[in-house]
Amino acid sequence: MAYMSLKNQKRIFIIMIICVVLAVLLFSRLVYIQVIKSSHYTQMAYEQQTRERTVSAKRGTIYDATGTKVLAQSISVNVISVVPNSIEKEDKEAVATKLAEILELDKEEVLNKISKNSSSETIASKVDKDKANEVLKYIDEEDISGIRVDEDTQRVYPYTELLAHVLGFVGTDNQGLDGVESYYDEELSGVPGKIVGSFDGRGRETPFTNEQYIAPVDGNDIVLTVDATIQSIVEKYLSKAVKENIAEYGMAVVLRPSTGEVLAMATMPTYNPNSPFEPNTDELKAKWDTLSQDEKSDELKKMWRNKVISDTQEPGSTFKVVTATAALEENVTELDKAGEFNCAGIMRVGNWDIKCWRYPRSHGSESLRQGIMNSCNPVFMQVSQRIGIETYCKYLQAFNLYSRTGIDLPGEAAGIMHDPKSMTAIDLATTSFGQTIQISTLQTAVNYCAVANGGNLIQPYVVKEIKSGNGNYEKKVDSKVIRQVMSKNTADQLLSALESTVTDGTATSGKVRGYRVAGKTATGENGRGENLVYLAGYAGIAPVSSPELVVVVNLYDPKGVSGHGGATICGPVVGSILDESLRYLNVPTDYTLEENSIKEKIIPDLTGKTIKEAKELLKSQGFNLSTNSDVADDSIIKNQIPKAGASLMEDSTVMVYIDDKEKPTTTVPDVRNKTAETAIKLFKNAGLNVRIVGSGYVLTQDPTPGSVIEKGSIVTIKCVSTTDLP
């Protein structure tokens, strides 16, 4: 018995040791869970019992330079989501049917989401107020749990395509994806808020608990340097030029030379940032469904690209101001030293024969001013030889042409120049007149700003103010001078030469009535042989007396009847942009410029008068009257075309109407490349009036040929002598 008792004691002892060990282990585990991992398991419990829903912050508003025109804003919309486990199984079919009906969605897709074993599923986002209210009404009437209606925001662009390539757009999560929206995303986006709710172990909403709402912090507002009115002027003329000249695309930028503010920047064709993933041209729409996903992505990237800053091309002769700057600064020549250079129509450099645009004719003996006015390549090749490669490349560096301008927009490309270490005499010669190198349209504009502002290279920018949500200023952007690249004297001399180029040289197509304009034409050659593509360009500065605007327009691969010369197809566009923009800005005219012998008079107001009275009044002022039907002399005039206050040359015809019936229309004839006299006859035969700017042959006309407009309307044509064009 004693032996058995000892054995039992040992067993009991072992069991006790095991129990003690287990107790120690359990206690240690309890300490580990309750003390060491307390915060971890507390967080796990919190996550099991709560769910967070994000409340989007209101993205900041983007205004134009006036601070009054809204270019981008966020509006309140709603997100419809469900908690699948909170919807009873027998109700899922009916809920899916109703939500699909209200939100105009596919029922099976909605049912699939409602049937998932998940904590939350988004049914629809960017839901407007009316549909959200319908969902709320359904929830209330049917006492349905598990459906949420939360506030969200949607980005809208009230002016649709206007300034699209500068503004950019946002993604479905309201994050900026391009343009200002991307570059200033941190300023615009704000801080999201959240809604915290309680759930049970099965993932169902817990009744009788209050949700916690943490308010979002709205983003900052932004004021651009871009003026919406000037932007609309630029887009109007650039779009017209691209279509009429069958160009692949067009680029234009307007800068204030004293500060570097971008007043307008446009690429055509443009797109609608409200629907940035939709094709933007009829050609692209026609082939869209046949493209692969990768091909669609590539096409969209091309569509979004702000080519003014992201694409570089051979600039052509607008680049000659850089060469002229180096020549005058290094004192290798003077502006008006007669006969210092000679153009034989062709010049041999190394083993290359490089032609002047005038070949086989020549310009003969020229000064540097005449070389600029005539856009003579041999003059600039001879100038560059005097400067030398090493010194010339220092000026390319000074103009920042190896790098970027530093504009506050994403995707800017750097200039492409020859490596100074391997640059040859031929490279120097071709670079001197803007070929075999590449820069952006914006870089060309910055170069001309230096001429216009007295020699300072400025950094362009598009955002001038950042405001907090309460309207207080957070940041005001100041203009920045990078360096002085030429003396005031050199800048003044170049400005004078460029003005001579407009008055008496190759750039006369950019003249503006009443203002002194400086300008330079360009025809860049991108590629060679069968791959040769032309870049037509024109850079203008106005008014010369006190420069307010620099405008650069480039058309890539123009294939229209007017050819590919910058003077012919870009000069009139720059002139029109300068004309309307200067008058919009109330910049005083320099003088009254008579461009032809045609005198214009103001059309009187004929409404309320009888036909007889109107005929007598118009006859006394040299105008004719026409009606769309036979009317009695005592009939009262209700309307007229052109309207009172418009100016027309003598012998023009005013159409009058005595009722509100549909007005007769006519098709605008194509008068381009015809003489002004021929154009007048064609317009009169079509029942149209004409306003003539300049004299000689017609370069451009507005409205576009083939347009259908009301009889009596005014068509404006811009003319220039063919001897003025390269």
The model's pLDDT over 369-399, given as tens digits with 9 standing for 90+, comes to 999 999 999 999 999 999 999 999 999 999 9
The model's pLDDT over 584-621, given as tens digits with 9 standing for 90+, comes to 999 998 876 555 566 778 899 999 999 999 999 999 98
The reply to whether 536 falls in a domain is yes
The model's pLDDT over 229-259, given as tens digits with 9 standing for 90+, comes to 999 999 999 999 999 999 999 999 999 999 9
The reply to whether 591 falls in a domain is no
The verdict on whether omega for the bond into residue 642 sits within 30 degrees of 0, i.e. cis, is: yes
- C-alpha distance from residue 492 to each of 105, 317, 346 (Å): 66, 19, 30
**Residue 1, pLDDT score:** 45
Give the domain-ending residue among 181, 199, 221. 221
Instruction: Give the start-end residues of each E strand in 325-375.
Output: 341-343, 346-349, 352-355, 364-366
> CA-CA distance, 288 to 300, in Å (whole number)?
11
Answer whether 255's CB lies under 8 Å from 262's CB.
yes
The model's pLDDT over 51-108, given as tens digits with 9 standing for 90+, comes to 566 666 788 999 999 999 999 998 877 788 888 877 777 877 888 888 888 888 887 8
Predicted TM-score of the model (pTM): 0.80
> CA-CA distance, 17 to 15, in Å (whole number)?
5
Give the three-class secondary structure for 258: coil
Higher per-residue pLDDT: 45 or 129: 129
Residue 40 has pLDDT above 70, yes or no: no
- Stretch 319-340: mean pLDDT: 96
- Tell me which residue of 671, 719, 665 sits closest to 688, measured CA to CA: 665
**Residue 51, pLDDT score:** 56
- Stretch 167-179: mean pLDDT: 90
The model's pLDDT over 117-151, given as tens digits with 9 standing for 90+, comes to 777 788 887 888 788 888 888 887 877 777 888 77
> CA-CA distance, 668 to 705, in Å (whole number)?
5
Two tokens, residue 144: 């349905």
How many C-beta atoms surround the C-beta of residue 215 within 10 A? 10
Say which CATH number the domain at 216 has: 3.90.1310.10
Say which CATH number the domain at 704 has: 3.30.10.20
Q: Give yes or no: residues 141 and 214 share one domain.
A: yes
Residue 423 has pLDDT above 50, yes or no: yes
Answer whether 552's CB lies under 8 Å from 523's CB.
no
Model confidence at 199, in pLDDT bands (50, 70, 90)?
A: low
Answer whether 437's CB lies under 8 Å from 431's CB.
yes
Q: Give yes or no: residues 202 and 328 share one domain.
A: no
Give the domain-ending residue among 158, 193, 221. 221
Count of domains observed in the chain: 3
Answer whether 368's CB lies under 8 Å from 334's CB.
yes
Model confidence at 317, in pLDDT bands (50, 70, 90)?
A: very high
Q: Give yes or no: residues 427 and 475 share one domain.
A: yes
The reply to whether 349 falls in a domain is yes
**Residue 208, pLDDT score:** 46
Give the three-class secondary structure for 77: strand
The model's pLDDT over 542-592, given as tens digits with 9 standing for 90+, comes to 999 999 999 999 999 999 988 899 999 999 999 999 999 999 999 998 876
Q: Give yes or no: residues 443 and 482 share one domain.
A: yes
Instruction: Give CA torsion, residues 649, 652, 657, 662, to 10 deg.
Output: -100
Place of tokens 């451009």: 700
- Tell me which residue of 358, 383, 357 sits closest to 497, measured CA to CA: 383
Q: Give yes or no: residues 80 and 210 share one domain.
A: yes
Range list of H helices, 509-610: 566-569, 571-584
Q: Give yes or no: residues 560 and 435 share one domain.
A: yes
Enumerate helices (H) and strands (E) in the chain, giving the number of each: 23, 31
The reply to whether 610 falls in a domain is yes
How many C-beta atoms surround the C-beta of residue 613 within 10 A? 15
How many C-beta atoms surround the C-beta of residue 629 within 10 A? 9
- Stretch 297-319: mean pLDDT: 96
Residue 639 has pLDDT above 80, yes or no: yes
Q: Give yes or no: residues 558 and 618 share one domain.
A: no
Q: Give yes or no: residues 609 and 511 share one domain.
A: no
> CA-CA distance, 713 to 726, in Å (whole number)?
33
**Beta bridge partner(s), residue 648:** 601
> CA-CA distance, 114 to 104, in Å (whole number)?
16
Q: Give yes or no: residues 101 and 165 share one domain.
A: yes
**Beta bridge partner(s), residue 343:** 364
> CA-CA distance, 268 to 617, in Å (whole number)?
45
Say which CATH number the domain at 322 has: 3.40.710.10
- Stretch 520-549: mean pLDDT: 92
DSSP H/E element including 286: helix 282-287
The reply to whether 400 falls in a domain is yes
Q: Give yes or no: residues 359 and 463 share one domain.
A: yes
- C-alpha distance from residue 547 to each of 299, 397, 453, 456, 567 (Å): 39, 25, 7, 13, 21
Domain that holds residue 471: 316-584
Which one-letter DSSP state was computed for residue 587? P
User: Mean pLDDT of all residues in the chain?
Assistant: 87
> CA-CA distance, 437 to 313, in Å (whole number)?
8
Q: Give yes or no: residues 529 and 619 share one domain.
A: no
Q: Give yes or no: residues 665 and 566 share one domain.
A: no
The reply to whether 368 falls in a domain is yes
Instruction: Give the start-end residues of each E strand in 3-120.
Output: 50-55, 62-63, 70-82
Two tokens, residue 38: 């307390």
Residue 264 has pLDDT above 50, yes or no: yes
The reply to whether 31 falls in a domain is no
The reply to whether 259 falls in a domain is no
Least confident of 494-503, 516-525, 564-573, 653-662: 653-662
